[in-house]
Chains A and B, each alone.
Chain A
Amino acid sequence: VSPARRLAVLRVTLALVAVADLLSYYGFIAEARADALINGIAPSGLVDLVSRPPVAALLVLMGVAALLHFARRPGRLWFAVIGLATLAILGTVHGRLYGSPWRHLFFSGVGLTGWILGLAASRRRGASEDESYAAVGTLALLGAAYFNSAISKFVYGGPGWMTGHPIQVIVVGQDGLVSDGLLSGYRTWVASTPAVAAAFSLATLLFEGAGPLMLIGPKLRRLIAAGLIAMHANIYLVTDIVYWESVVLLAAFGLFGAAPGARAPAVSYRPVIPSGGRFVAAAVVLALCAGLAIRHQAQRYASARSVVAAPPPAAAAQIPPTVLPRRIGPFTVGQTLAETWAVESVRLSDTGLVVGVAGPQGRAGFELTCADTEHRSPFDFDGAHLFYSSQLELGTLTAAARAVRARIDAASEGRAVCEQLAQWRRGAAASDDAPPGAQDER
């Protein structure tokens, strides 16, 4: 296959994957919009406008038309830009409606971005139809996406990710370990055999981390692409999660490849990056920026985790009472609730008030909060949540929960619970400022 033909195959493959994603966004957005409305989340502004079926359909048609034009001939940079822009708008709107981006739909955008950057580089060289840089750009960004995935496992998961524990949890959470065939047997084996899960973890980190090395040469490129395709196949087998877009792009750009050949003699070849010195300087600056950005996100995550890792209500009940207040609002340590339950601790959380209770069957914690959250509890008030946390079955806790709820209700004396909670929090914070002994004496 000639280099030009290979490049045409890559261009058409990329365009078709992007077209498939664009078409699927139409249905996904309609579904996400309907779900958001059912759950009381009203889309606003641009999200509302774009998620309306006629507008979404118009964008999809625009994008598809642009991508088909892009696919037909080399060098059609602006059609690729229009295709990418429609994917970006629809992807952003879908992410906002659903509450999270769908990453498998990002790979066509990643590929198109790389292609566009390559075409722009070729234009800079005065060879606007040369797609050899475009193919390298797409391969580079595919590698970068997998590299990011590997880095994020260290940033968010730490060394613990290598133990295979996250893979075990994911398989259990995705499959439910139902015994109904050969595949479920394989899933149960992976989830139940830590050494196998650990081996999969290491292989995942190895191949994802090596993503950018696909740029080095055809042998390494094929090896890494094959490893990543095998990883996706295994992910599908153990969790049903499909990343077909990235598999198709890996097969095209990694296994099949571009094999570009430069016909120009050395004297007339005009490189995009004029000198080794400039390349090194640019690479160092970008690497430094990347390192700082990753460090910043890691610190943000660690900081958020330290807040989340504050003792949950049940654990708080075990903290010696001398370091906790004895009374907040209508709750006093030692108070009896629903005949068999007793208040063991009271404390302030970040956004509310936590009551730890103990009874003959175990412990539980109840948090009264007015925080804006999608979570709901069967004991919620109008505008306020009463969340529970316990190893006990809900039925066992119901009497205690109702007693806690009734006490809050009675103490609010007809005022809004959130207003009353704010007052209790202010009172408790003020008593926190008092000398330590003052709390114990109360």
Chain B
Amino acid sequence: MTGADLASRDRRRFGVLCVLAYVALAWLVRFDLRRGDQIASLAYPLDTFSMYAPNSANQISHILVRDAAGAVHHVTSFERFACAEALRGSAVRCTERRGFQYHYDDQINWIEAHPGGGATRVELISRTWDVQPGAAPVHLNDCVIAHCTVTP
């Protein structure tokens, strides 16, 4: 066996042991954090990268802006918001229909970072779909979180 072959084999063995050690350590301990159970390993950079791994519920919601004509838009399509109802705290409506919590938080952060309102009256809604395995999503209902005025 040449030196190159020997080195190549040794490096590959080293790599295999690195893979196995990382997998073992990453799965050894999984902590719960505020946004979920079993979502953190022993220490950075160990992780099982299990985001989006759990099977999803059949219903999912997404926060959208609905205009007077009934058309929906992304929250980030608007630059200024003034909403009549609370968007944080215990008085917030539709709390059971938030979809991905981090997504909801991002949208509320966007709204709060773009104050001012405007001439267009809209509703901030949580739209819910029913997504059954093997079928296309079906729009179930909209829950109005707040009434707002916006500027596109």
Contact = CB atoms under 8 A, between A and B. Distances in A.
Interface in A247-273: 260-266, 268-269, 271-273
B38 A100 contact: no
A114 B73 contact: no
Given A177-B129, A287-B20, A215 B43 contact: no
A115 to B, nearest CB: 11
A144 B22 contact: yes
A413 interface: no
B92 A376 contact: yes
Contacts of A301: 37-38
Nearest to A278: B13
Given A144-B18, A174-B100, A271-B6, 4 more contacts: A143-B19, A169-B58, A177-B137, A194-B133
A161 B55 contact: yes
Given A38-B88, A103-B49, A157-B55, A173 B61 contact: yes
A39 interface: yes
B105 to A, nearest CB: 7
A318 B104 CA distance: 33
Interface of A: 35, 38-39, 41, 84, 87-88, 91-92, 95-96, 98-101, 103, 106-110, 112-114, 117-118, 121, 132-133, 136-137, 139-141, 143-149, 151-153, 155-158, 160-161, 163, 165-166, 168-170, 172-178, 180, 191-194, 212, 215-216, 260-266, 268-269, 271-273, 279, 282-283, 286-287, 289-290, 293-294, 296-297, 300-301, 304, 374-378, 380, 387-389, 393-394
Given A100-B33, A166-B55, A283-B17, A136 B38 contact: no
A176 B63 CA distance: 7
Contacts of B70: none
Given A180-B73, A394-B93, A140 B55 contact: no
A260 B11 contact: yes
A263 B6 CA distance: 11
A290 B21 CA distance: 8
Interface of B: 1-24, 26-28, 30, 33-40, 43-45, 47-58, 60-64, 72-74, 77, 88-96, 99-100, 102-103, 105, 109, 127, 129, 131-137, 141, 143
Most A-side CB within 10 Å, residue of B5, B52, B93, B105: B52
A161 B98 CA distance: 22
A269 B54 contact: no
Contacts of B63: 176
In the A-B complex, the 10 residue pairs with the smallest Cβ-Cβ separation, listed nearest first, are A109-B45, A99-B34, A262-B7, A152-B50, A286-B20, A176-B62, A169-B56, A293-B27, A140-B15, A149-B49
Nearest to B54: A156
Most A-side CB within 10 Å, residue of B3, B6, B11, B58: B11
Contacts of A191: 131, 136-137
Contacts of B27: 148, 151, 290, 293-294, 296-297
A111 to B, nearest CB: 8
A156 B52 CA distance: 9
A194 B3 CA distance: 52
B36 A100 contact: yes
Given A121-B14, A265-B3, A304 B37 contact: yes
Contacts of A374: 34
A91 B36 CA distance: 17
Looking at chain B's contact residues, the main secondary structure is mixed
A152 B18 contact: no
Contacts of B100: 173-174
A91 B44 contact: yes
Contacts of B47: 101, 103, 106, 145, 148
A149 B8 contact: no
11 contacts: A35-B105, A84-B45, A100-B35, A121-B14, A173-B60, A176-B127, A263-B3, A290-B24, A297-B30, A300-B30, A304-B37
B25 to A, nearest CB: 8
A96 B90 CA distance: 23
A45 B81 CA distance: 37
A351 to B, nearest CB: 15
Contact of B143 (A91, A263, A282, A394): A394
Contact of B7 (A269, A286, A376): A269
Given A140-B16, A145-B22, A149-B50, A110 B45 contact: yes
Given A140-B18, A176-B127, A265-B3, A103 B51 contact: yes
Contacts of B88: 38-39
Most A-side CB within 10 Å, residue of B16, B44, B48, B129: B44
B14 A152 contact: no
B62 A170 contact: no
A296 B14 CA distance: 26
B73 A169 contact: no
B45 A168 contact: no
Contact of A147 (B17, B23, B103): B23
Contacts of B16: 140, 212, 215, 279, 283
Contacts of A380: 90
B44 A378 contact: no
A72 B108 CA distance: 43
